Amino acid sequence: MKTFAVALLLSLTAAATGCRTNYGAGCEKSADLTAPWTDLALPIDEDKTRVCASSAQELKLRSTSWSSADEAQPAFEKALAAAGYARQRCSGAACYYDKAGHTIGVHPMEFKVKKTTLITVALSSRTGTSRPAR
């Protein structure tokens, strides 16, 4: 009975402290999602993703929603296509999408924090810098 009580106490303590995901250095606290990212219906699961930084030019987030960077890229491509963006080119792991002279770059990267695989996705927004497809 005493062992059960100790186990229950440990479980309740863990639940109360929120056993949170460690999103690593540079992403200790969540930032507010800002425009233009709020208008794009990006695949951000609030329970599994933290917005590390957000401005009109850049968005950086970390997530456990995907098991690899290769899984994240199509999810962002689908959201951008739904918003009217077309893929222009990819270079390495980064892809660039254009809509009327406005370019959004998506660069997912995979890394581990302790034993947790995290996907960092860096998005950039630029106007008038669209490049021709290669």
Enclosing H/E stretch for 72 = helix 69-82
- State if pTM tops 0.75: yes
**Confidence at residue 11, expressed as pLDDT on a 0 to 100 scale:** 38
**Confidence at residue 95, expressed as pLDDT on a 0 to 100 scale:** 96
Residue-wise over 55-66: b if at least 16 C-beta within 10 A, else e? eeeebbbbbbbb
The domain ranges of the chain are 22-127
Q: For the residues 91-105, what does the mean pLDDT come to?
A: 94
Q: What is the pLDDT of residues 70-93, one digit of tens each?
A: 999 999 999 999 999 999 999 988
**Where are the strands (E) in 18-84, listed by range?**
49-54, 58-63
Dihedral of alpha carbons 45, 89, 105, 111, sign:
positive
Return the bridge partners of 110, or none: 119
**Confidence at residue 14, expressed as pLDDT on a 0 to 100 scale:** 37
Best CATH choice for the domain 22-127 from the list 3.30.310, 1.10.3470, 3.80.10, 2.30.30 = 3.30.310
